[in-house]
Amino acid sequence: MLTTELPPLSPWGSIRSFDQVGTEGILRVHTDTGTGYFVPRELNARVHEIWRIPTGWYGHSADDRHWAIVAMTFPTLFPDELVEQAHELQQQGDPHCYTIVLAAQLAAATSLPRPSTPEATTKTAPTDSNDPLPERTQLIPVAASASADQQVPETPRPAWVRKSGPIARQVWGDWHETVPPGFVGVVASPDESPEDETWHLVPAQEYESRGTFRFVVDLENHATWAGHP
């Protein structure tokens, strides 16, 4: 774990306590008047220039959403729900810059090196001494066929790219009297129409494997929850 030298002061006053975020040196600091994150210079360089704060201080309060920049830049250091909230805050508060940063992150996540074209070697074909034609050549690929472990890996799907559909807003386990064992009950609605709520039963295992972001309900495959609260 890297140790970050703690600055004596923050933009919010003297530092009363701090927590290490991850293992690369980011600090969450607490003061009498506010909290925020301190990102060391090396890590701060990873923040998109359109959002980067040169001092490395990113506030976290009701009036300061700069913490969301840290969560979006280093999503593996934060809970999934907090990263999701960070995306929503930045998208709503600064949609133009959010689009630019998201496009840059998407490009970085999908820019895998392309496989090189197999080299070819030249091999002289045997000829008959009476053959009036000049010597012929054959182009033989070095690797005629790739084995299974040589196949080009699939491009990873960035965490922030989600399927379209209603998003699960609240979840009930099978402790609820109308949720069958092995299922969860959810109330869901589209981001663009949060008032259009629908209720569904989702296999618990499927819900638990939802990944980084919120669960997207499949209207064709997830049954309607008739006995919802």
Antiparallel, parallel or unpaired: β 26-31 and 35-38: antiparallel
Distance CA 218, CA 221 (A): 6
Q: Are 58 and 36 in contact (CB under 8 A)?
A: yes
Q: Examine the pLDDT at 163 and tell me if it is beyond 70.
A: no
Structure tokens at 166: 């209603």
Q: What's the mean pLDDT when you consider all of the chain?
A: 76
pLDDT tens by residue, 26-74? 999 998 888 899 999 999 999 999 999 999 999 988 778 899 999 999 9
At residue 204, φ and ψ (nearest 5 deg) are: -60, -40
pLDDT tier, 109 (very low <50, low <70, confident <90, very high otherwise): low
Q: Examine the pLDDT at 87 and tell me if it is beyond 50.
A: yes
Read off the pTM. Answer: 0.50
Q: Examine the pLDDT at 118 and tell me if it is beyond 50.
A: no
Tell me what percent of the residues of the chain surpass a pLDDT of 70: 71
